[in-house]
Amino acid sequence: MMNFNAIRSIYIFEMARAGRTLLQSIISPVISTSLYFVVFGAAIGSRIQEIDGVAYGAFIVPGLIMLSLLTQSIANASFGIYFPRFVGTIYELLSAPVSYVDLTIAYVGAAASKSIILGLIILATAAVFVPLEILHPFWMLGFLVLTAVTFSLLGFIIGIWADGFEKLQLIPLLIITPLTFLGGSFYSITMLPPVWQTISYFNPVVYLVSGFRWSFYGAADVSIGVSLLAILGFLAICLAVIAWIFKTGYRLKN
């Protein structure tokens, strides 16, 4: 049994919050992505040869979308649940007839929706700068949704774990940003020296970017099956952590 009215209420509330901070949640990623295109695509990209038969400007599109998708999913979801804890309005969520599953679906669903919309907006922005082709649109959407959901879950976990704004920023800053920049967003990892290639295979973002890029251009650093397994595995880990948190009431209740 689920409390659908509650899930809908939280979802609408969270989406409305994004609407209020439209500038922050949509426009700033669009601007920064455009800047990436100007710098990497037009300025530097013209001097870089094609990778896997794809022009450099187009090559970086999937990686750039992933970059925003990861950071925004985490930021949205972590803030969404941390904020009520911080200001104290969490009392209402805890006293409402909602289960933890309801809460997770609502918060993660809203955060994921926002980053999916954002991903599509960046995609549209990219299409302005470079000629795009999407060989496997359904896979593309699939990766987009799976990644958004998984990293929103991760953000949700961070939002529950954090007990201060510093911690809220810490994981994205210390872990996610380096992983995404070193995850093959701007290059193919086959371009790296062998040692770094091996190291890269320990970076989960490599699999996401690779799979996502495959859905665009049909070329990948690792096989699509492995990419899919990697993201599903990460999703499973996040779900297990959430389940544990809720079983123990960790950090939500005294």
Partner 1 sequence: MTPAISVTNLSKTYKSGFQALKNINLEIKQGEIFGLLGPNGAGKTTLISIICGIVTASSGTVLANGHDNVKEYRKTRSLIGLVPQELTTDAFETPWATVNFSRGLFGLPPNHAYVEKILKDLSLWDKKDQRIMTLSGGMKRRVLIAKALSHEPKILFLDEPTAGVDVELRRDMWALVRDLRKTGVTIILTTHYIDEAEEMADRIGVISKGELMLVEEKQALMAKLGKKQLTLELASKLKSIPRTLARHQLSLSKNGAELNYTYDSHANRTGITTLLADIKKAGIAFTDIETRESSLEDIFVSLVRAP
Taking CB under 8 A as the criterion, the residue among 97, 131, 193, 194 binding partner 1 is 97
Smallest distance from the beta carbon of 84 to partner 1, in angstroms? Answer: 8
Taking CB under 8 A as the criterion, the residue among 27, 38, 94, 173 binding partner 1 is 94
Taking CB under 8 A as the criterion, the residue among 19, 164, 233, 249 binding partner 1 is 249
Does 91 interact with partner 1 (rule: CB under 8 A)? yes
- Residue 1 or 195: the one with the smaller Cβ distance to partner 1 is 1
Smallest distance from the beta carbon of 16 to partner 1, in angstroms? Answer: 7
Q: Which of 82, 74, 136, 63 is nearest to 111 (CA)?
A: 74
Taking CB under 8 A as the criterion, the residue among 28, 39, 92, 127 binding partner 1 is 92
Smallest distance from the beta carbon of 156 to partner 1, in angstroms? Answer: 18
- Give me the residue label for tokens 């959430």: 242
- Residue 50 or 92: the one with the smaller Cβ distance to partner 1 is 92
Scanning residues 199 to 228, which ones bind partner 1 (CB under 8 A)? Answer: none
Taking CB under 8 A as the criterion, the residue among 47, 49, 87, 193 binding partner 1 is 87
**Quick one: which segment of 7-15, 111-119, 122-130, 222-230 binds partner 1 (CB under 8 A)?**
7-15
Angle value at C-alpha 12, between 6 and 10, nearest 5 degrees: 35
**Quick one: which segment of 57-65, 149-157, 214-222, 246-254 binds partner 1 (CB under 8 A)?**
246-254
User: What residues line the site for partner 1 (CB under 8 A)?
Assistant: 1, 3, 5-6, 8-10, 12-13, 16-17, 20, 87-89, 91-99, 249, 253-254
